[in-house]
Structure 1
Amino acid sequence: MFKLNRLEITGFKSFADYTEIVFTGNGITAVVGPNGCGKSNVSDAISWVLGEQSPKTLRGQEMKDVVFQGTSKRNPGGMAEVVLHLQRDGEILGVDESELEEIDEKLGAIDEMSVDVDALEAEHLEEEEEEDSEAVAEVTEAEEEVEEMAMVQAAQVGSVKTIKTKTKRRWKPRSFALDFAPGEAVTVTRRLYLSGESEYLLNDKTCRLRDIQDLFAGTGLSGAHYAIIEQGRIGRILSSKPSDRRALIEEAAGISKFKTRQRAAESRLESAKTNLGRISDIVEEIEKRTRSLRRQANKTRRYKVLKEELRDLQTKTYAVEARNLNEAVKELGAKLENARKEEKGLSTFVEEKENRLKEATKDARFAEEALTALRAKHAENALERDRAEREKRYQEEQRSELKQRIEDLDTEVKVTEARVEGLNEEIATTKAAAAAETEAAALERSKLGEAEEKYRGILEQVKAIESRLERERADHLQHTAAVERLSEIGRQFETDLERSGERVKGLEHEKDRANETLRKRREEAKEVKELLELEKGKLESSKKEKKEVMKSCESARTNLEKAEHELNALEKEYSRKRHRLEALEEMEQTGAIYEPSVQKLLASGKDLGVKLLGTLADRFKTTKTSDKAVESLFGSYLQSVIVATRKDAIRVVKYLNKNGMGRIPILVADQRGLAENSSANPEIVKMLGIGTAFASILTDAFPERMTAEVADHVEDVTGVDSLVVTMDGDLVFGGKLFVSGSKGKSEKNTSLLGFKREMRELKSAMKTGDKETAGAAKKVQQVRAELKKFEDSLVDLQSYIVQLEREVLSREIQSTSVAQEIDRSERHRKIVEDELAQLSGEAENIEDKRREALVAAENAELARIESGKKIDKTSLDLAESRKVLDTENIAFNEKRTFAEVAAERMRAAVSALERVNSEKEELENRKAKLKTEIEANTKRKSELEQRTIELAERLVKAGDEIEEESNELTEAVAHLKAAREGSDEMSRELAELNTKAAEARDNRAGIEVRNAELNTRLENVEANCSHDLGVELPELLENTVVDDDFEFDEALERVEYLRNRLDNFGAINMLAVEELAETEERLEFLTSQRQDVEDSIESAEAALREIKRRSRERFRSAFKSINENFTKFFSELFGGGQGEMQLLESEDVLDAGIEIVAQPPGKKLQNMLLLSGGEKAMTAIAMVLAIFKYRPSPFCLLDEVDAPLDDANVGRFVDRIESMSENTQFIVITHNKRTMEAARALYGVTMQEPGVSKVVSVRFD
C-alpha cells in the first residue's frame, strides 16, 4: 500500500502560491476553514493529480478552470501543478498477479497467432494488378512477356517478405505498483497550462495517464475511486443507478484489471473474426487463380510440343530447299554469259544514237529555258505595274484620311482650351473656400485644446483621490489582517510552549531533509544543463547537415530537370523520325515515289504472274555525297523493275504491252554465265554500295556506266576518252560532250536515291535512338533515385531535428522545473530555519511575546477603526470629484466633435482644390499632345502627295517595258518549236534501235531475273532459317541429314498447318508452370494463416470465458464480504436497524445492478428516497466503510460527509474511522467540532487575501 506523505499545490484553483501540506503517519487529518475559503479545492487537487478527467466532477465547466483565474489584485496563473508524495510501506493488496499472468500469456499467444490481413490484401491487390498487366502484355513479343513475368515473380517474392516482417501488436501489461520496493518514495505530478497542454510525471519522469491509473489500480484510487468521496458524492451513492453502485464493488473486488483484459480479448476476437472473413476471401481468389494457372500450364505444355515439331520440320525443309536452289543457280550461269555478249553489240549502236539525241535535246532545253526566262520577266513587270497601281490608290486613301483627322484634332484643341478657362475660374473659387475652412478648423482646435487641458486637470485630481483611497484601504486591510494575525498569535502562544521542544526536533529533521533535497535538485540542475548544452550542439550540427543536404537536393533537382529535358528532346526527335519513317514506308508500299507506269506494275500483284524483286534503286546503298553522281549516271534506269529470269521479263513485257502501261525498263537479276571477276570500276561499285555478284549483273546491263571514271568536279576531268561522272552530277563523254545536271526526266528520279537513303538512315537512327532514349531514361531514373535518397535523408534529418528540438524544449522545461524545485526547496529551508530561530528562545520569551501580541492587537484594532473613518471621508471626496469630471468630460467630447467636423470640411475643400488642379494639368497635357499629332499628320500628308507623283511615273515606264517583252516572246516560241521537231525525229530513229536492243536485253534479263530469283529465294531461305531457327544456313546444311524418302511437299503442308495452329493458339503464358508452383505455395501459406486465425478465435473465446469466470468468482466473493460488513456497520452507525445490499436479477452477475435496502431502527422497511438526509448519509457511509473493511485503501479523503449528521451520529462515525485509521490515512474536510477533536493534525484554510487560499497547520499529540 501507499502512504500519503506530502501534497504540493501551485496555481490550482484558489491556491495561487506554492502551498505544501505534510501528512505524518496514520490517523485522522482534518482540513477546516470557513465557507468559500477553498477547503474542497484540496480534495479536488488530489482527485485531479490521480487522473480525474471530468471538469464537472472538479466543479468546473472545462479543464482549464482548474488554473488560478486571478483576482482584482493578481493576474491569472499560467499553469496549475499538483505534486503528490507517497511511500510504499507494504504489500499491494489486490488481484493475485499469478491469475493475471495466466490471462496475459493467453492474450500474448493470441497476438502471436494474429495475421496482418492488411498486408495480405495489399499483396493480393498487387497480384491482381500484375495479372491485368500480363493480360495486356500477351499481345507483345515473347521476350517482353518473359521479362514482365520475371518482374512479377520478383514483386511477389518481395511482398511475401514484407508480410513476414510486419510488426504485430503485442499485449504488454505492466503492474507499476510492483516496480517500487517497500519504503521507496513515489512522486506523482500533473501539470496543466492555459494553452491546454498537460503532462503527467512519475518520479519526475514524463509518463502517460494510463501509467498513473495502472499504478493505483485496485487500490480504490482509480476508476470508481471509492477512497475519495468528494463533496456531495456521499448522497449520490444512494441516488445513483444500481449499475453505478456496482462499479464501487468491482473496484474493491479488483475486477478492473480483469475488465481491461476482457476488453482486449473482445477486441482481438472481433478483429480475428473480421480477419477470418477477409482472409477467406483472399484464399477464394487465390484458388480461382490457381485453377486458371493450371489451365494455362496445360496449354503451355501443348504449345511447346507443337513448337518443337515445327522446328524439326523447318530444319529439314530449309536444308532440302537450299540444296535444290544451289544446283539451279549453277545451271543458269552459262546461259547468262551468252545473252550478255549479244546484248553488248546492240548497246554500242544505241549509245551512239543516244549521244546525237542528247545534243538535240540540249538545244531544245536551252530554247525552252530562254522562253521561260522571258515569260518570268514579262510576268514580273506586269506584277510590278499592278503593285504600283494598288499602292497609288492606297496613298490617295491615306492622304484623304489624314486630312479629315487634322480637322478633327483642331476641333478637339479648341474644346480643350475652353475647358481649361472654366477650370481656372473654379480653382479660384475652391482656393477661397479651402482657406475659410482651414481658418475655422484652426479655431475649433484651439477651443478643443482648452477644454482638454481643463478636463485633464480635473482627471489628475480624481486619480490623486483614488490613489489616496487605495492607500487608505490597503492600510485598513493591513490593520485588519494584523488584528486577526495578532489575536491568533496570542492564542497560539498559549500552546506553543508545550510543543516547542518537540517542534524543534521535528524542524531540525525537516531542515536536514530540505538541505538534502536542495542538494539533489542542484545536482539535477547541473546534469540537466549539461544535457541541454549537448542537445543544443547536436541540434546545431543537424541543422548544418540539413543545409548541406538541401543543397544536394537542389543540385539533384537541377540535374533531374536537365536529364528529363534531354530525355524529352530525344523522345521528340525519336517520334519525329518514327513518323517520318512510317510516312516514307507508306509511300514506298504504295509506290508513290515511282513513275505512274512503275506504280501500276508494282501494284499488279497476282495478275502479273511474276515475282518482282523490287527496283534498281532498292539495291543501291548510296551516300548523300554520291546521290547526284548515281542519279546522273543511271537516270530513269533507277526505276528499273528487277525480275529473276528472262522468262519473267518477257512475261512482264507482254503484260505491259497488253495493258498499255507505257515504257518501263526491266532488269533480269540472273547471275548464271557471269564472269567471276567483274570489269566494273571499283569506285562505281563502292559508290553504289552493292555486292560483287550484283555488280557483274549491272556491268553486263550498263557496261559504259559501270566502267565510268569518277572525278570530284568537272574541272578535274582531263585527257579521258571514256565516260566520266563527277560527284556534282556532271557527265563527260569522251572528253568532248559535257552533260550538266541530272539525267532523269522527272523530279521523282532525282529524289529516288535520296528517298531510299533517307529510309536507311532513319532505320539506323531509330536503332541508335532506341539506345540513346533508353540511356537517357536510365539516367533520369538514376538521378531520381539520387534525389529520392537526398530527400529521404532530408526527411530523416528533419525528423531528427524535430526530435532534437523537442528534446531541447523538454530539457529547457525540465531545467525550468528544476529551477522552480530549487526555489521551492530554498523557500522551504528558509521557512524551517526561520521557525527554528523563532523556537530557539526560552518559554519566558514566548509569554512576553504573547502579551506584546495582545497589546499590538488592541493597537491594531484602534488603527483599523481610524483607517475606516479616513476611507469614508475620502470616498465622499472621490464621489464629488467624479461628478465634476463627468461634466467636463461631456463638454470636452462636444468640443472634440466640433473640431473633427471642421477638420473634415477643411480636408474636403483641399481635396476638391487638388482634384481641379489635377484635371487642369491633364487637359494642358492633352492639348500639347493634340498639337503634336496635328504637326505629324500634316508632315505625313505632304510625304504621301510626293509618293503619289513617283508612282505615276513608274506606271508609265512599266507599260513601255511590257510591250517590248511581248515581241521577244513571239520570237522565242518559234525557235523552241524548231528545236523540238529535230529532237522528235532523232527519238523515232533511236526507238527502232532500242527495240532490237530490248530483245537482246530481254533475253539476258530473263536469265538474270531467274538467277536473281533463285538467289533471292536462297537469301530468303537463309534469312528465314536464321529468323525461325536461330541458326545460320551453312551450319544447318553441314549438321542436317535428310532421309531419301523425305516428302518435301507434305512437310511444307505440315509446317504451314503447325504455323496456323500456333498462330491461333491464343495468348501463351510461358511462365505459367512456374507461376502455378508459386501460387500453390502461396495458397498453402494462406490456408495455414487462415487456420492460425481460427485458432486465435478459439483462444480468444477461451480467454474471455476464463476472464468472466474469474471475474464472477471475485465479484461474488467481494459482494458477500462487503454485504456482511455493510450490515454490521449499518447497525453500529444507526444503533440498530437492518441494512443489506441485494443483486438485481440479470443473466450475468457481472451485469447485475446493486440495490440497497435500509431499515433504520424503529421504522418499517421503506423506499430509500423517503429517508432523511442524515439517514441517507449514514447509509452511504456504512457502505463506504464496508468497502474499506474489505479492501483498505492507502488513504481516504472524505469531503464534508459528516455535514448532514447530528452530534450523536458524528460520534459513531468518528469512532468507526478512528478504529480503521490504524491501517488507513483519513483526510477529513469538515466543519464539525467533534470530528476536529478526533484529528491528530489540523490544517486550516483561510483567505487572508480575497480569492487566494492559505494553509495553517496544527498538530496534536
Structure 2
Amino acid sequence: MRLKSIKLAGFKSFVDPTVVHFPSNMCGVVGPNGCGKSNIIDAVRWVMGESSAKHLRGESMTDVIFKGSNSRKPVGKASVELVFDNNEGRVTGEYAAFSEISVKRLLTSDAKNFYFLNGAKCRRRDVMDIFLGTGLGPRSYAIISQGIVSNLVESKPEELRVFIEEAAGISKYKERRRETENRIRRTNENLERLTDLREELGRRLGHLQRQAQAAEKYKEYKADERLKKAQLQALRWKSINDGAMSQEHVIGELEVQVEAAVSQQRSADARSEEDRAAQMELSDRFHQTQTKFYGTGNEVTRLEQTLRHKEERAKELVHDLEQLEQGWQEAREQMAEDQSQLEMLEAEKLEIEPELELLIEQEAGSGDALAQVEDEMHRLQQNWDQFNQRSHEPRRTAEVEQSRIQHAEQVIQRLVEREKKLREEIESLGGGDDQEEIELLSERLTELEMTRETQEIRQEETLADIEKNRQALDELLETRDRQRSELSTLRGRHASLEALQQAAMGQDTGVVVWMEEHGLQHCPKLAEKLQVQNGWELAVETVLGDSLQALCVDGFDPVAGLLGNLEQGSAVLLDSSLTSIKQVDKSGLVALASKVVAGNEALPLLAGIFTCESLEQALALRDQLEPHESIITAEGLWLSHSWLRVNRGVDSNSGVLERQQELEDLAIKLEQLEHSLALLDQNLQNLREQGETFEHRRKDIQQQLTDLNRTQGEVRADLQGRKVRLEQFSERRKRLEQELGDSQEQHLMEQERVSESRLKLQEALDIMEYDSSHKDELLEQREQCREKLETVRQRSRHDKERSHQLALRQQTIASQVVSLQAAIERLSQQSTKLRERRELLQASLSESHSPEGELQEQLEIVLARRLEEEEAMQEARSQLEMVEQRLQQYEKERQAAEQKAQTVRSRLEKLRMDWQGMQVRRTTLAEQLKEDQFDLQTVLDNIPEEASEQSWEYELERLQARIERLGAINLAAIEEYETQSERKSYLDAQNQDLESALETLENAIRKIDRETRQRFKSTFDKVNAGLQELFP
C-alpha cells in the first residue's frame, strides 16, 4: 500500500484546496523556509488520528484551521484527505477489494472532528485499525521527523520493543488481544453476576421446592380434610337423626303421662270445691264466736288496764307534787338574787350619764372642726387635681402632636419616594410589542395545528399501509415456509430416488473404466431416455431387464473398434440413430412398444411382445401367439406358449422406470417450486423494501410530528407566556396607577395633618408656660392644709374613742338591767304557776282513791262471760280444722298431680327443645354439606362401615396436626417454582454459553500470544541480523 496523494483544504497554510501527488515510492518536497513543507507531514499525522496539539506545533486542535491574514479571511474548517494505492491488496478486511483507499479528517471551528473512509463516515479507531501493524500512524517510526533517529538509538528496551512490534505487525494483534482481554473481563464479570444470580436462584429454588412440596402436601391434606369433614358431618347428621327419632317416641309417651296427671289434678279440684263451701260456713261461724270472745277479752283487758292506770296515776301525782315544791323554792331564791344585782346596775348607770353627755359635746365640736379642715383640704386637692389635669393635657397634647408631626413628615418622605418609583415603573412598563407578537404567534399556532392534523392523517394512512404490508408479508412468509418445507421434502425424496437409481443402474468396474477411457461415460443410458405410459412401467422393466443399463450411442461404427479393449464386464449398446421400427399388431392385441412414449432405442427389444389387462385374458389369447411372440400384463406377468415369468422386485433393476419417471416428475416439481420460491423471495424483498419505505415514511412523519409538537408546544408556551405577561403588565399598570393615586391623596392628607398638629403644638406650649408659674403656689397651700388636718384629725379621733367607750358601757348596763327585769318577771310568773299546779295535784290525788271497788265488780262479771264464749269458739274451731284437714289432703293430692304433670311437662318441654335443636343441627349439617358441594346421601353411602365420629375426629385432628406442622404455606410457590426453574435452566444455558465463549476467548488469546511471539522473534532475528551486517 502506497501513499498516492494528499488533499488539503483550510489546513494551516493551505487555505485553498491543494493536492500533493506522490507518483513514485520516493518523492521529495522542496521549497523555501515557511512554504509549508512541515505542514504536509503534520497533515499526515493529523489524518492518522493525532490528538495532541503539541505534536502539531500548536496550542489547541483548532490551531490547524487557517486563521486568516492581511489579505485573506479565516476559514471555518480544515480537512485533509490521504489517498492510498491498494492494488496489491495489502489492506485486508472489508477494504481489501478497493484499489484505492481514501482516509479523510474534517475539523470545524467548534472543535468537532469527523473521520471518513472511502467517503463513509467512521470513527477515529476505524482509521487507526487500518494502519495497525503497518508502521504508519500519528507517532509511528514510518514518519521520521527531527530527532527520531537519535530516539531510536537511545531508546530503552521497552521503547525499542514497541518499534520492533510495530515493524513485525504485532500491534494489531496486541489491539485484538486487548479487546479480547476486555471481552474476557466483561465475560468474567458477567459470569460472576450470573453465578451470583444462579446461586441466589438455586437457594431460592431450594426454598421454593420445599414450599412447593409443602403446598402440594397442603393441598392433598386439605382435600383429605375436606372429605373427612364432610364424612364426619354426615356421621353426626346420622347420629342426630337417630337421636331425634328416638326422642319423638319418648315425647309421645310423656304426652300421655301429662294427660293422666292433669286428669288426677282435676279430680282433686272437684272434691276440694265440695268441702270448700262447708269450710266457708264453719269459718264464718268460728269468726263470729271468735269476735265475741275477743270483744269480751278486750273488755276484760280494758277494765284491768283502768285499774292499773289509776294506781300508776296516784304514784305519779305524789312524785310530781314533790318536784313542784322543790322548783317553787328554787324560783324564789333566784328572783331575790336578780333583784339585788338590778339595784347595783341602776346606781352605776346614774353615775355614767353626766360624763357621757360632756364627751358627746366635745366629740361634736372636734368633728365640726375636722369637717371644716377636710372641706378645705378637699377643695385644695380638687384645685391641685384640676391643675394637674389641666397642665398634663397640654404636655400630652404637645408630645402627641410632635410625634404626629414627625410621623407625618416621615410618611410624606416615603410617599414622595414611593410616587417617584411608581412613576418610573409605570413608564418602564411596555406591552405594545407583546400584543403584536401575540397576534403573530396565534397565526403561527393555527398554521402548526393545521399542519399537525395533516401529518396525523398521513401517519394514520402510513400505519394502515404498514399493517397491510405486515399482513401481506406474514402471508408470504407463511407461504414461503410451507413451500420451503415442501421443497426440502421433495429434495430429500429426489436425492433418495436418485441414489437408488444410480445404485440400480450401476455397471461393472471394468465397463466403467472402459467407458471413461474412450469418452463414453457421457452417453445416456436407456433408462434415462425411456418414457412409458403410466401403469406399464413394470411390464417394460420386466421385458427389458438389464437392457435398461444399455448405452445409447450414435451408431455402432465409432465404437465397434473399441470393443476389443473391454477386457472384463458386460455392456449393452443401442443405436440411437434408429428412428422407428415396424410394429405388427394382431387382432385384439396391442404391442408393448406402443406404450413407449420416448426412447426409440428400446423398440427392437420389445418386438413381438403384446399387452393385455389381466392374466385370464392373456391365457385366453395365448393360442393366437407365434412361437417367438409373448404377452405381458401391466402387473408384470409375462407368458408365451411354453413359459410364464413373474418378476416381484427381487432384481435390483426392478422399479427403475417408475423411479425414473418419479425422478423426472420430481425434477419438474422442484423446478416449479424453486421458481415459485424465487418469485416469493422477490415479492418478499419488494414487500420488505416497501415496508422499509413505509417505516421510513412513518419515522419521518413521526419525527415531523414530534418537531411540530415541540414547536407547537414552544409557540403555545411563548404565546401563553406573552398573554400572561401582557395581562400582568396591564394589571400591574392599573395597580400602580391606583397606588399612585392613593399615595397622592395620602400625601395631601398628611400635609393637612402636619399643619393642624403644628397649631395644636403651639397652643399646648403656651398653656404649659402659664401652668409652670401657678404650680408652686398650689403646692404650698396644700401642704399647710395637710398639717392642720392631721392635728384636728388626731384630736377628733381621741374624743370619739372616749365617748364611744362610755357609750358602750352605758349600753351594756342598760341591756343587763333589761335582762334582769325580764328574768325577775319570768321567775314571778313561774312561781305563780307552780303554786297553782301544786293545788291541782293535791285535788287529783284525793279523787283517785274513790272508784276502785266498782271497777273490780265489773271485771269479775266480764271474766265469767269470756269463759263461756271461749268454749263455743273451741267447738267451732275443731269442726273447721276437720274440714281444713280434708281440704289440705285434697290440695296435697292436687299438688302431687300438678307436680307430676309439671315434672313430666318440663321433661317433655326439654325433650322438645332438644328435638328442635337436633332438627336445627340436622338441617345445618345438611346445608353445610350442600355448601361444601357434597351430597348427603352419596357421602353416607361412601362412608366405610367401621367409620365412627370418634375415629373420624381423631383422623381430622391428625390431618390438622399435619397441616399445622407444615407451617405457613405459599400456595403460589408451585407456579413460582416452575417459573424460577425455567429461569434457572435459561441462566444455566447462559452460563454454559459464557463459559464456552470464555474458553474461546482464552484460546484466541493463546493463539494471539503464540503468533505474536513467533512474529516478534522472526522480526527481532531479522533486525539483529541486519545490525550485525551493518556493524560486523
| TM-score normalised by structure 1 residue count | 0.31
Larger radius of gyration: 2
